[in-house]
Structure 1
Amino acid sequence: MSRIAPLEPPYAPEIQAQFDRIMRGAPPLMLFRVMASNARAWEKFRAGSLLDRGPLSLREREIVIDRTCALTQCEYEWGVHVATFAQAAGLTEAQIRATVCEGADAPCWSPAEQALIAAVDALHERATLSEDEFKTLSAHYEDAKIFEIILLCGFYRTVSYLASGFDLPLEKNAPRFPK
């Protein structure tokens, strides 16, 4: 069980509507139920507006999220995203494994994806990009996408802190980190 009690159904109508919008009819994730137990935290979480699609493709977005969650060792959120989006994003088993177990230079990635992963790694390690890292990233991604990449890294680092700090139990249908 989570260190902070999640909301239990029945949910207030406005919370149910928010869950339905985010989850598209599926039961709400434990993370959302815990966050919604604190009205201010839930509002700030949703106000981050990074639960929408944004300018990145689904594949690019999921690579950023999966890698960020792997680097922060947040198996909860990594597993949720792999279970929900990996297939639609066209991620292979080798690529899913590489988000956890390999570097940006893994041969399963295209040059653009290698630049993307290297940027996620740099932001995780140093909270910045070197001139060369930024130049490499901008050779493949326009400014709007670079903004989104950096925002997603920060947002999902926060999500990882929340999920790990609250010791959320892993979702039943979510895969575990590869060994």
Structure 2
Amino acid sequence: MSQTAPRIAPLQPPYPPEIQGQFDRIMRGAPPLVLFRVMAGRPRAWEKFRAGSLLDRGPLSLREREIVIDRTCARTVCEYEWGVHVTTFAEAAHLTAEQVRATVLGDAKAACWSAAEQVLIATADALHDRATLDETEFKALSAHYDDAKIFEIIQLCGFYRTVSYLANALALPPEETAARFPK
């Protein structure tokens, strides 16, 4: 996107103490993301957004979670959120450069993924394309993941599709330090 400012203005510092405290908890001392600053300016939207967050320690490993998020953001062409996640979590999730690239340009059968990871990519793709899983897709998912993980995978796809809608529709400019889509 060539636009340099979001379509809805973000909060500017100094932030109200309650909001500053929330930013500090979420960002662990780093400056708040533009997405968070835009959302926090609308109290109802910010409250709902924070309630839906799935970045806590859930049933998925960090690697599994990030594969699902990165693929969902790539499929929704949300470079903003994809870039934030790749920059923040790819190294800790042990995603190689080839795997990061494959979240955008590869398919579920890419050789860089394990069989279980290929199922994560295929699940994100099916949910993106059809908003459901057929019996064969669900059986493949169930072969690698228990019910708690399956719920988390589906919720991550849905939540990050919503995040992508927000970032894309509000024309959020990329964060300065965030990764950009591979060419």
TM-score with structure 1 setting the length:
0.99
Partner of 2:152: 148
TM-superposed CA distance for 1:156, in Å, is 0.2
| 1:175 CA drift (Å) | 1.1
Unaligned runs of 5+ in 2: none
Match of 1:80 in 2: 84
Root-mean-square deviation (CA, aligned residues, Å) is 0.6
CA distance in structure 2 between the aligned counterparts of 1:155 and 1:105, rounded to whole angstroms:
24
- Give structure 1 regions of 4+ aligned residues with deviation exceeding 4 angstroms: none
Q: Secondary structure at the match of 2:171?
A: coil
Q: Aligned partners of 2:53, 2:78: CA distance in 1, in Å?
A: 21
The one of 107, 119, 124 equivalent to 2:123 is 119
Look up the match of 2:138: 134
Q: Distance in 2 between matches of 1:12 and 1:55?
A: 34
State the Cα distance separating 1:50 from its structure 2 match.
1.6
User: Residue 136 of structure 2 aligns to a residue in which SS?
Assistant: helix
Deviation at 1:51, TM superposition (A): 3.1
Please list the CA deviations of residues 45-75 of structure 1 after superposition, one character each: whole Å capped at 9, or x if unmatched.
0111423231110000000000000000000
Amino acid across the alignment from 1:143 = D
Which residue of 2 is the match for residue 25 of structure 1?
29
How many residues end up aligned between the 2 structures? 179
Matches within 5 A, 1:93-112: 93-112=97-116
Q: Secondary structure at the match of 1:139?
A: helix
Tell me the distance in 2 between the aligned counterparts of 1:47 and 1:57.
21
Q: TM-score, normalised by structure 2?
A: 0.97
* Structure 1 residues without counterparts, runs of 5 or longer: none
Code of the residue aligned with 2:24 in structure 1: it is D
